Amino acid sequence: MKQVQIFSDGACKGNPGPGGWGVVLRYNGVEKHLYGYEPDTTNNRMELIAAIEGLDALAEKCTVDITTDSQYVRNGITTWLVNWKRKNWKTADNKPVKNIDLWQRLEVSVARHEVRWHWVRGHTGHDGNEQADLLANKAIAERRSNRS
């Protein structure tokens, strides 16, 4: 099975506000960049979409190491999801889970691969994370420049 590294990040100008997501995929010395834009979103949604888009870009089952600076994404998929589902998509304080549509998509995307999740502190010079952050912000900047 192919061993792939994914670095994902999301950005938002205002929360909510215009947002972007960025992904760096690395396999066998080759790097691919993906990014996208949403006009009215939140940072957490962009973080989730980045992880989903990275996984969905893989054409076959892979062993994947995903690095994110989002505790929300990493803890959500590795710890909280099982309890949310057991409680019919309710949080520990019995409120509806936010971004349920994206959590359900991420769960499907993760199931296609063997995934290990890694967290890094954002904006600390981690190469993959910094590149993903630049891509997420590039998506916002490109959209803004196209509108002016």
Buried b (16+ CB within 10 A) or exposed e, 6-33: bbbbbbbeeeeebbbbbbbbbeeeeeee
For residue 93, indicate whether it is catalytic: no
Cα separation, 86 vs 107, in Å, equals 14
Q: Give me the numbers of helices (H) and strands (E) for the chain, helices first please.
A: 5, 5
Q: Which of 10, 19, 20, 22 is catalytic?
A: 10
User: Which of 38, 53, 130, 133 does the annotation list as catalytic?
Assistant: 133
Active-site residue, selected from the candidate residues 22, 38, 47, 128? 47
Residue 22, classed as helix, strand or coil, is strand
Q: Is 40 a catalytic residue?
A: no
SS3 label, residue 129: helix
Q: Catalytic residue among 9, 38, 53, 130, which? A: 9
Q: Annotated catalytic residue: which of 69, 76, 113, 130?
A: 69
Catalytic pick from 101, 123, 127, 142? 123
> What is the C-alpha separation between 5 and 15, in angstroms, rounded?
28
Catalytic annotation on 133? yes
Instruction: Please indicate whether residue 53 is annotated as part of the active site.
Output: no
Residue 127 falls in the annotated catalytic set: no
Residues carrying an active site annotation:
9-10, 47, 69, 123, 133
